[in-house]
Structure 1
Amino acid sequence: MDYTTHSTCTTILVGKNASYDGSTIIARNEDAGVAVNPKKFVVVQPEDQPRNYQSKLSKFSIKLPDNPVRYTSVPDATPEKGIWGEAGVNAHNVAMSATETITTNPRILGADPLVKNGLGEEDLLTITLPYIKSAKAGVERVGSLLEKYGTYESNGIIFSDVNDIWYMETAGGHHWVAQRIPDDSYVIAPNQTGIQEIDFDDPDHFMYASDLKNFVEQHHLNLSDNFNFRKIFGSDTQLDHHYNTPRAWYGQRYFNPETVKDKSPMSHDLSFICHANRKITIEDIKFVLSSHYQDTPYDPFTPGNDSQKMPFRPIGFNRNQELSVIQLRPYVPSDYSAIQWLAFAANPSNTLVPFFTNVQDTPDCYRDTTKIVDSQNAYWENRLISLIAADHYHAVMDDIEAYQDQLMGYGHKRITHIDNKVEGLSGSKLTASLQAANEKTADHVVKATRKLLTTMLTKTSNGVAGSFDRKHY
């Protein structure tokens, strides 16, 4: 079985007192094992939710409850390898992002082996999000599933509501822990076990597998006096130093450089819970999740650098498939407080688009992605742009940055406009108005993206290898 198709994500979590507007914000790049893995953005209605769920890869199956609610999802374009729903918001304004693939050390895998036919990233959003009414309830549901069925991989799983963000990490086949992210804090999680000290006497901030302490004691897994989940369950390998920790280092360097000034990109002791030196914006999150070590010697796009020989894996790169930044706002009515900012394909060259989630359907240019290239579709437009940008970075980045700035400004303007337009509406009238507004937003963005693609093709086509200019002869 191939479980590596989606395995290399980067997560940012921002508590409500750390964000610019008091929202809880969760964000995660979905990165595939290949450059092209088409994605779509959909609404799943209760009548379309499976009652007897069967995974494609691990053959895990489960009978699901009979009371699902509507939710958004960003699944694969076609389901032959499973759903891979990844990120969404349900009708109760609970958000989920799954998963951040993480690492577990051999001692843990020996004591609690992974379960070949257990659950995994392919399944988690579908079998969880439609059934939970709070972020904490999401941890409780997944925790019970893990202890009963086991998992075939180690993952970080994110839940949020308007008040709380919970980050959950699995270890081995059946064990897990979850931490509530403090309101004044942020987290960057880069494919590596992150949670550190566990306070077993603080149920408001920590949850864990029922036998976690006994399991660790029985198998002699704790090598220190403190219960540090990362040190007990995680790994600290050469791959971590080159593939994982540099991403956390760069993000922390951006948000609070004073704390990492004496640390290297390969530092094994970077903090999990961090505090920025300012309030964090949507643009900040997008910058970090698009970054490739700008203004450091490790940027593959610096003239003279060989991108194939750079020592560290970038955050924004060709294998980004979609980025969902989910913002749950406390200062507007709950019926239109949830926004799923969405970007497709490689983050250095795309832009976030805000979609209200209390809708019955999504715009067709985001919903109807196929595996065949379609220049009218948002995923494929952005995939084509990313391909051109990779080979002509310095020639087209001015055009891309102008496009990004213009559309991020447009996105914020649209949110304010839509908030004002729907004020006082409720029920089906509100839902219909939000859906129509999403359609207008998507139409504007797709037209602007198509214009950028045309500009880039025109600018770069004349200088390709094999071109010939008669005036030189």
Structure 2
Amino acid sequence: MPCTTILVGRNASYDGSTIVARNEDSPGGQFEPKRMAVVHPEDQPRVYTSVESHLTIELPDDPMRYTSVPDALPGHGIWAEAGFNEANVGMSATETITSNDRVLGADPLVEYVPAQGKEGEEGYVPAVPGGLGEEDLVTVVLPYIRSAREGVERLGALLERYGTYEMNGIAFSDVDEIWWLETVGGHHWIAKRVPDDAYVTMPNQLGIDYFDLADAEGEQVEHMASADLRTWMEDNHLNLTMMRPAALDDMLDEVYADMPDEPFDDDEDDQDHEDGFGDLFADIRDGILSGDIFNPREAFGSHSDSDHVYNTPRAWYMQRCLNPHDEWDGPHAAYGPEADDIPWSRVPERKVTIEDVKYVLSSHYQGTPFDPYGRRGNDASRRAYRPIGINRNGQLAVLQIRPYVAPEHACVQWMAFGCNAFNALVPLYGNVETMPEYLENTTARVTSESFYWENRIIAALADARFHDNAAHIDRYRQKIGGLAHKLLRDTDAAVADLPAAEVPAALEAANQRMADDLRRETDALLGRVLHTTSLAMKNAFSMSDN
């Protein structure tokens, strides 16, 4: 599915949390209703069959409880998307990403092949199951892992055994680490640890731009990969990295992040710094020559015309927001909205907040000629690029693991439903047995009794009179945000001295209080937006009969 992801390392976040966030967007012309859910061990399948690919696999018999954001309507799979398990491990799956012809020829996707003919008749050919996909991944991985690294290991093994029918990016987080895994063809994969002091932006495009195979094959400090990746790449001539200045500049981006900002105390320290930098440069040069270091985006990804309309502008805008003093506009910009080499990760100018994450994942190129609601540019520029906050947003899950509270209440799953340009994030503690009905009760019936549908209605009404309703949306978002942070602070204090067994019930009560406040404020927003947009109806007439 089309989506947008941002990952924030613990030293880059405002409070030392690891933060994983992703919009789930429906395909063009579709609006998939979503809901919140808690899956208990007794409800987790032991034999799982995918609806999309008809693949059946056996699952371990010791699942943990976990939260999820499944599709609300039955019949086409679970699509659990994002959540936390009892071990305080988060998973977000998936960001649909791109590939290229060389990769798909070297390791084809594992697609479902329907049966031919009728069973028992001459010429009958049975169906061939496909591989795993977005529909399946949270369900078959999250209940069984106890760290982000274990998530990579389990999913990697499943991909190597069963394959996949689509290219995807998957995030795993715990209190210390975030790992990002990208599938490569049908059975291969790479994974990279998000730097603690950096954030990662991911539109629907293969993103990792620096990879150390020697690390992946050895200590796996920051890189992991399918076991045969090196030989597979060599056999299929996939490594495109060259020893040229531009390539070296790309490869050295991560090295620069390790250099101290302060001047050295004396010439001896300065010389040691120069010697150390020279050694790092030589290591990277030797790594490129040996094939240890390469650019996966060049090897496995795409740089198509559609990427420049659909994908790269989203990475450009997110990084423009979080590193605003870089040169982003004009002929001297380091990166434009159609640049193929926008970095996968960057150190932000200041620490990143939950509100920053919500802003970039709701954005529609505000302050540029590309904003469909803006007054800059022209009709062509305002429709040039695909927004991040698009009408097809179904849900936004922000997975925050906080290091400064007890593990029993460390995980907060911030949620928004519907189009992000018109909604607000609400925090929900993850260590609970149930979710509030207002977020869980999505059905096929359109009703303001459901948080999903109420947001969908508000967005459709507010979009028609965007500028008239913008103040209503901003005040609502800030009100919910203030209530959210106060509830977290108050609840953290209230449960700090409780016995561990009593914490889940207290967290459920807090979630319900937040849902009650959310419903009250969302109802009020619906009323204000309905009134404002009704005043602007085309059949309005100024003469009144009273």
TM-score by length of 1: 0.96
Give the match for residue 4 of structure 1.
none
- Structure-1 separation of matches of 2:102 and 2:470: 46
Give the stretch that moved more between structures: 295-304 or 386-395: 295-304
Aligned residues of 2:3 and 2:95 also touching (Cα < 8 A): yes
Aligned residues of 2:205 and 2:301 also touching (Cα < 8 A): yes
Give the match for residue 167 of structure 1.
180
Give the match for residue 402 of structure 2.
329
- Structure-2 separation of matches of 1:312 and 1:216: 33
Provide structure 2 residue ranges, at least 5 long, that are not aligned to the other structure. 112-129, 243-287, 289-293
Report the Cα offset of residue 258 of structure 1.
4.1
Q: CA RMSD in A?
A: 1.4
Secondary structure at 1:257 match in 2: coil
Give the match for residue 115 of structure 1.
110
- Structure-2 separation of matches of 1:238 and 1:425: 57
1:11 aligns with 2:5: yes
Give the stretch that moved more between structures: 371-380 or 27-36: 27-36
Provide structure 1 residue ranges, at least 5 long, that are not aligned to the other structure. 1-6
Give the match for residue 87 of structure 1.
82
Give the match for residue 133 of structure 1.
146
1:374 aligns with 2:391: no
Q: Kindly report structure 1 stretches of 4+ aligned residues shifted beyond 4 Å.
A: none
Larger radius of gyration: 2
Correspondence list, 1:296-445, <5 A:
296-303=368-375, 305-306=378-379, 310-445=383-518
Structure 1 residue identity aligned to 2:462: A
- Structure-2 separation of matches of 1:306 and 1:269: 28
1:242 aligns with 2:309: yes
Report the Cα offset of residue 115 of structure 1.
0.3
Give the stretch that moved more between structures: 420-429 or 135-144: 420-429
- Structure-2 separation of matches of 1:389 and 1:446: 18
Give the match for residue 361 of structure 2.
289
User: Deviations 1:112-163 (Å, cap 9, x if unpaired)?
Assistant: 1000111000000000000000000000000000000000000000000000
Give the match for residue 321 of structure 2.
254
Report the Cα offset of residue 368 of structure 1.
1.2
Secondary structure at 1:366 match in 2: helix
User: Deviations 1:332-366 (Å, cap 9, x if unpaired)?
Assistant: 00000100000000001100000000000000111
- Structure-2 separation of matches of 1:319 and 1:306: 21
Aligned residues of 1:249 and 1:260 also touching (Cα < 8 A): no
Secondary structure at 2:214 match in 1: coil
- Structure-2 separation of matches of 1:446 and 1:316: 22
Aligned residues of 1:35 and 1:320 also touching (Cα < 8 A): no
Aligned residues of 2:370 and 2:381 also touching (Cα < 8 A): no
Structure 2 residue identity aligned to 1:440: R
Report the Cα offset of residue 468 of structure 1.
3.6
1:54 aligns with 2:54: no
User: Deviations 1:356-406 (Å, cap 9, x if unpaired)?
Assistant: 000000001111110110211100110001111111100100011011011
Give the length in aligned residue pairs.
466
- Structure-2 separation of matches of 1:57 and 1:224: 36
Report the Cα offset of residue 199 of structure 1.
1.1
Structure 2 residue identity aligned to 1:139: V
Correspondence list, 1:132-151, <5 A:
132-151=145-164
- Percent identical across equivalent pairs? 52
Aligned residues of 2:97 and 2:167 also touching (Cα < 8 A): yes
Secondary structure at 2:72 match in 1: coil
Aligned residues of 2:374 and 2:382 also touching (Cα < 8 A): no
Secondary structure at 2:427 match in 1: strand
Report the Cα offset of residue 228 of structure 1.
1.1
Report the Cα offset of residue 306 of structure 1.
3.8
Secondary structure at 2:67 match in 1: strand
TM-score by length of 2: 0.84
1:216 aligns with 2:283: no
Structure 2 residue identity aligned to 1:442: A
Report the Cα offset of residue 446 of structure 1.
1.0
Q: 1:426 to 1:79 in 2, by over 3 A?
A: farther
